[in-house]
Chain A
Amino acid sequence: MAVKVITVGEKILGTNDAKAEENKKLLVRHGILTVNIMSSPGAGKTSLILSTIKRLSKKARIAVIEGDVASSVDADKVNALGIPVVQINTAGGCHLDAFMVEKGLHNLPLEKVDLLFIENVGNLICPNNYKLGEDIRLMIASMPEGDDKPYKYPAMFADTEVVVLNKTDLQPYIDFDEKAFRKVVIGLNPDVIIFPVSCKTGEGMPAWFDWLEAALKNKKNK
């Protein structure tokens, strides 16, 4: 039988992108500001979420989707604050995709939510390739990881709207060159907003809270 070549020219993850658009429409319909939080394991995703809940839960109705390879350790911490939370275990998968998030959304009281945090699986490579339907992509880089990470994971730093530079309380003990870090991150991504913070001491957190509150107000006025 004759061999025939069929031109495809389509993104391999096109079906994920389409599902992410559906999720986004659903979230927009409910007026929810959605933040996709990405970082390497242990950079402070859960700490940032918990601190932000404590500060903003009187001003905004918050919900969380927790993505982890296994366990519900993070979801339990959020649940303890009385915040609606859905745990997604990816069973070995290294990222959340739009289909998993769709299931998560169906298990949240969307009509009673203003702000949704999606905590992605700790990983700096693939989460970046999977849109989920978020408004804001936020990545956390923590100082002990080193100032060279933007060279190693440039796509992640190029695509994010917000970089939270966490664990600034450790600066005196480590050789993290913040100036060099900023130079390469802003070079790749001129519109990025960088918040140097310590989730542990609270240093720098007010600037992040204010920015997020302004983004929430902006969303409500749309």
Chain B
Amino acid sequence: MHEASITESLLSLALEKATEAQAKKIISINLVVGELSGVVGDCVQFYFDAISRGTIADGAKLCFETKPTQIRCRKCQSVFTPADHEWSCPQCHETSVEIVTGRECYMESIEVE
């Protein structure tokens, strides 16, 4: 059900932007989602097709750019991809790290006509 709520939000944002631009139809919506955002693209498209019927977004294609999880060592600033159960820095073995990418959940652009 997470995707239903995300989809409602993204449809209303896309409709708002398209209406501001006096567009007649939304062709595609470009989204950036991180691996950690919990958003499953196929599910979102499924809901989107259902709830966009009768709007100018009907038939629009959702394009997802998925951002992998990357973390940064707070000590030496190295950026790395974490292993399943090892999040220490591969360079200096520091355990203090921060998530730099993987949490994105935004709309980059829409294509309209």
Contact = CB atoms under 8 A, between A and B. Distances in A.
B17 A6 contact: yes
Interface in A16-66: 16
B23 interface: yes
A155 B36 contact: yes
A3 B111 contact: yes
B108 A7 contact: yes
User: Number of contact residues on B: which range applies?
Assistant: 35 or more
B79 interface: no
B87 A184 contact: yes
Nearest to B14: A8
B110 interface: yes
Contact of A158 (B14, B98, B110): B98
B37 interface: yes
Contacts of B31: 12
Nearest to A97: B5
Given A12-B106, A92-B1, A184-B95, A1 B37 contact: no
A93 B1 CA distance: 5
B23 to A, nearest CB: 7
A95 B95 contact: no
B18 interface: yes
Main secondary structure of the interface of B (DSSP, over half): mixed
B13 to A, nearest CB: 6
Interface residues of A, number: 36
A2 interface: yes
Contacts of B109: 5-9
A94 B43 CA distance: 15
Contacts of B110: 5-6, 8
Contacts of A2: 113
Contact of A15 (B9, B87, B98): B9
Contacts of B36: 154-155
A9 B107 contact: yes
A93 B10 CA distance: 17
B36 to A, nearest CB: 5
Given A4-B23, A129-B105, A155-B99, A14 B113 contact: no
Contact of B85 (A5, A97, A151, A188): A151
A90 B1 CA distance: 10
Contacts of A186: 95-96
B38 A129 contact: yes
A129 B1 CA distance: 14
B53 interface: no
Interface of A: 1-16, 90, 92-95, 97, 125-126, 129, 148, 151, 154-155, 158, 183-184, 186-188, 190
> 5 closest Cβ contacts across the A-B interface?
A187-B95, A125-B38, A1-B113, A126-B2, A8-B107
